[in-house]
A and B are shown apart, each in its own frame.
Chain A
Amino acid sequence: MEKKLNLTLKIWRQKGPQAQGRLVTYPVQGVSTDASFLEMLDVLNEELLKKGEEPVAFDHDCREGICGMCSLMINGQTHGPDRETTTCQLHMRRFKDGDTIVIEPWRAKSFPILKDLVVDRTAFDRVIAAGGYASVNVGNAQDANCILVGKESADRAMDAAACIGCGACVASCKNASAMLFVAAKVTHFAELPQGQPERYKRAQAMVAQMDAEGFGGCTNTYECEAACPAGIQVTTIAKLNREYLKSSFAYAEESKSSEGEG
């Protein structure tokens, strides 16, 4: 049944990318346990507005856990306390009356803060641009059933492809490593026949871009897996490491023979 909560929020406020930020305390009253976490912030923002204060900026869009736009560090946990749950799907029934909730943005060098809780995650786009695709132009495709994919491989590919690109893996990692994100994409393609032609080039290029963006290295603490709302597993990182190692030998050969490409 619905209950009402009185809460104390401590929210990171920061005017702009260069500005100094700080935690500001806001009491909120009468929050329904049926409300989602973001709806609770909506209520706060309406109240701030009434008082003539500027609302808290935060990223959100689909509010059904799939677009990957929402991104809050809630009491030190990415997307809050529930496993495999995005912030937008976190509901207030998870909290108790009188709780204090600390809300911060993702913190990583590669995700600079734009304002309040909003960060810039375009580094992820650039990592995908480096190789997160199969190079097939429209018009080249053969009949879909000519490519047979065993159900188990297809399922493993889908498990990895489920990544929503929210960046929780980076934000939860003490090294701000993007290994889980990169591993998910590399695994998705490595499991499928369509991913084979560029398999090694992909692993090399995506890892190189990941490094260039300033993401840290992986030291196997598995925080990323615990934080991932899409259930991506660290076994993908092991897969990425194998792909990367193999590609270190194979790619050198491949690039020699593909110089005529154009």
Chain B
Amino acid sequence: MSLDARVPIGPLSEKWTKCKNELKLVSPTNKRKYDIIVIGSGLAGASAAASLGELGYNVKVFCFQDSPRRAHSIAAQGGINAAKNYQNDGDSVGRLFYDTVKGGDFRAREANVYRLAEVSANIIDQCVAQGVPFAREYGGTLANRTFGGVLVSRTFYARGQTGQQLLLGAYSSLMRQVERGKVKLYSRHEMLDLVLVDGVARGVIARDLTNGNFEKHAAHAVLLCTGGYSNVFYLSTNAKGCNATAIWRAYKRGAYFGNPCFTQIHPTSIPQHGDYQSKLTLMSESLRNDGRVWVPKQKGDKRRPEAIPEGERDYYLERKYPTYGNMVPRDVASRNAKAVCDEGRGVSETGQAVYLDFADAIKRDGREVIRQKYGNLFHMYEKITGENPYHTPMKIYPAPHYTMGGLWVDYHLESTIPGLFVLGEANFSDHGANRLGASALMQGLADGYFIAPYTVGHHLAGRKLPKVSTDGPEFEEALRAAKGRVDRLLKINGKRSVDSFHRELGRIMWDKCGMSRSEAGLKEAIAKIRALREEFWNNVKIPGGNAELNQSLEQAGRVADFIELGELMCRDALNRRESCGGHFREESQTEENEAKRDDENYLYVSAWQHQGDDKEPTLHKEPLAFESIHLTQRSYK
């Protein structure tokens, strides 16, 4: 099958308008005849479900948490980008588009990114209309701040809780549709399989996590809005429950997986401490607006940070990148932190940390100004580390945070399975090989509020979708498969906990497929992951049964999928013998150890097709063509 991205022809700035004009419409009275399933209730899922409900479709929303309001979008701190140019600093749709494509190291689909920039302004309008309490100036207008990789202030924020407020906005719209009877909620439910009828996505198999009941749900379209897969690294900034099961089952049913190796390691997380650690906590990138990153010039300098005089400190980002300084994109900041730690100049007991210092900002602006901007983050930092960042520099280190890769989708956000749409972080589309700060919220809401509601309608109006019954053979087969898998897991009754497998997988991925990747390392990782998978299916221990709330069982299913996904990530990383964005191949670097892209050979999206559990997946390539942008090696100097 050849990949048709369905990008409209014509000038970049007119593509989305043209596309919308040509999309088929479902008449208002017919909308109530269509059922739509939305998996996941984060920004993408909640906004899509609310919008589709408003239009009159019958929507079912599934989430594994006890309430849709808990989806992990809620934890995004810093803000959301939009090309409003409210600061009169020369921002525009074109500039947001360019920054995003460049930030992604020219590995995103140009037309998708342009559309994202185009609708960004509508998102802010919509959120304000919903009552999202964005930060304001005294005159009552919206406030902005700046983020990494850009030279304008286009980021809108609600203290350090922007994700929370945007999600609660989408959640409130969603609950309004629940009240109207247009959306039905299935919380504490997990999707375990996708059901295809005549090659079209027509339903899902879900498990009620409170009692283990398997359910069959039919629909005319299925939307996966289940976020990313950073938890493949075990330790990440994701919530503990974040998982790849829905997209992985869809992959196994035929949806292609796009750029699985493109993962983002965020530069400013609280460093790891003990073996019992369960997650890494992010400190918002916005802190880099006022914090200065440094390490001692001397290797192994064990003095307290305050005791190290100015002249013996290396503000390495300011030194190497004078234009962007501490605000370089995330991949650049992370790689440089790793480099100085590898040189032996890292701080803290582990040597795996760098300082983020607010002393100068506090001296310049006063403690109160800093408290107003970052109070909750400082508070959180102190809670976790027991150190007060008003007095001593924060210690930070990179952590897995976001996955640019995801299921391959075309311009309609439809996967290679007709009727299966993928929104938000779960798809691969807009961020290329590295995502800029404050762009994830933008993409989730763009997909859910402004894109999917149109394109899903086109699918419904344009395809023949005969009535399907959940008693049909396809549903029965998928149900048997899902049940069989759970039975198999419960029967293993081995010796090792699910968590121990997850940790081991995480270590392999972090060491070999993390911030730095090499051919030898990746091959080794693939072999180790295969062995781990073998052991998992023979030696995992899951207490309890199916017919109850069983958190070990839930986790086991997710870890089993992560193990398989980890292998695909390594395979993709192995194939891409260039460095780009967050994907750094040791074999491909410049003399200054910066990432070296290879546009001649790798100017494409990798789209992997599943061929069977023990067969190698097939690689398809979607070539990337840049009509309006001149390709350059990124420079933030």
Contact = CB atoms under 8 A, between A and B. Distances in A.
A194 B131 contact: yes
A85 B276 contact: no
Contacts of B68: 125
Contacts of A128: 69, 171-172, 175
Nearest to A185: B172
A69 B66 contact: yes
Contacts of B278: 36, 38-39, 42, 63
B67 interface: yes
Contacts of B175: 125, 128-129, 132-133
Interface string A124-143: 11001110111111101111
B72 interface: yes
Contact of A93 (B134, B240, B386): B386
B185 interface: yes
B28 interface: no
A13 B89 CA distance: 59
Contact of A32 (B241, B274, B450): B274
A221 interface: no
B128 A67 contact: no
Contact of A138 (B163, B240, B384, B450): B450
B551 interface: yes
A239 to B, nearest CB: 15
B603 to A, nearest CB: 35
A59 interface: yes
Contact of B142 (A63, A67, A144): A144
Interface in B419-450: 449-450
Interface residues of B, number: 81
Nearest to A147: B128
A69 B128 contact: no
B383 A151 contact: no
Contacts of B173: 133, 136, 138
A68 B543 contact: no
A61 B72 contact: yes
A164 B305 CA distance: 36
Contact of A165 (B69, B71, B185, B543): B69
Contacts of B50: 138
Contacts of B141: 145, 148
Contacts of A2: 273-274
Nearest to B71: A67
Contact of B140 (A54, A140, A141, A151): A151
Among B128, B165, B187, B549, which residue has the most Cβ atoms of chain A within 10 A? Answer: B128
A121 B70 CA distance: 12
Nearest to A144: B128
Contacts of B131: 133-134, 157, 188-189, 192, 194-195
Contacts of A49: 497, 541, 543, 552
Interface string A104-135: 00000000001100101110110011101111
Interface in A143-165: 143-145, 147-151, 154, 157-158, 161-162, 164-165
A84 B133 CA distance: 21
B161 interface: yes
Interface in B121-176: 122, 124-131, 133-142, 158-159, 161, 163-165, 168, 171-173, 175-176
Contacts of A68: 67, 69-70
A138 B126 contact: yes
Given A69-B66, A143-B125, A57 B549 contact: yes
B65 A145 contact: no
Most buried by A among B124, B125, B379, B544: B125
Contacts of B544: 54
A148 to B, nearest CB: 3
A53 interface: yes
B51 interface: yes
Nearest to A47: B497
Nearest to A35: B276
Contacts of A194: 128-131
Contacts of A157: 131, 133
Interface in A214-262: none
Contacts of B552: 49, 55
24 contacts: A2-B273, A35-B276, A36-B384, A43-B276, A49-B541, A49-B552, A55-B543, A64-B380, A69-B66, A114-B210, A125-B175, A132-B172, A137-B54, A140-B129, A141-B125, A141-B128, A142-B129, A143-B125, A149-B133, A157-B133, A158-B133, A161-B158, A162-B161, A165-B67
Interface of B: 47, 50-51, 54, 65-72, 74-75, 84, 86, 122, 124-131, 133-142, 158-159, 161, 163-165, 168, 171-173, 175-176, 178-179, 185, 187, 210, 239-241, 273-274, 276-279, 281-282, 379-380, 383-384, 386, 449-450, 453, 497, 499-500, 541, 543-544, 548-549, 551-552
6 closest residue pairs by CB, A with B: A148-B140, A133-B172, A141-B125, A141-B129, A154-B136, A144-B128
Given A61-B239, A66-B163, A145-B86, 15 more contacts: A61-B65, A63-B278, A67-B70, A67-B74, A89-B383, A114-B210, A115-B548, A122-B66, A125-B178, A129-B176, A136-B129, A144-B124, A144-B128, A165-B67, A194-B129
